[in-house]
Structure 1
């Protein structure tokens, strides 16, 4: 509520917290050097033990997990698939998301009913492939 302005005209949309631009903004806000404000550089630095980069990724995963926890409470899905460009980072991001989401969901949604959270198999290509499939189905 009353969160960051969104390109859609609203405020506080999840996109402003769980997207690649959100990750870059977060890195800049936290004062990371310019060479660490790309997602790949952030993940590499965190993997090499850079505490500031790891902290940014933890906050970012926490922001993603807010939306996931909401969806778990509403839909009680057996699994959630995370897509987009950063999903290619695999466990470096997913482990953080799982831990943060687990801490945010109500106890009834934890053990023994953990929601599986994994990366989309098509990664950031899913939108393109879906659009192409849609066109092909109409031909």
Structure 2
């Protein structure tokens, strides 16, 4: 499962991931690096379903025992679903950030924006430079 996941996933320099394998709704979450840096996540503020965000807009907030961080929209699109399980149990962002800890699903307005994001190799190289 992880292999297929990483074939369709892209990353942002702000440490969000987006999996656009499902053309109807791409899934967005925070990276393993982000959850490691934040520590224990205690609260998430998820975006409003039905609202359209531009690429780079703040679409939510994740709070941990150490800090709060904005969640940025990796692409332009309309939020079509949020992860209510994450709202109920924010620790999913720590325990399973790439699966059960996803934040929201977005209907892409411009799929070409995915081309400007990092693939897993480029993201790993980016992390080495931090």
Does TM, scored on the shorter chain, surpass 0.5? Answer: no
Considering Cα pairs closer than 8 Å and 6+ residues apart, tell me whether 1 or 2 has the greater RCO. Answer: 2
Report TM bin, short chain. Answer: under 0.3
Between structures 1 and 2, the one with greater strand share: 2
Q: Which has the higher helix share?
A: 1
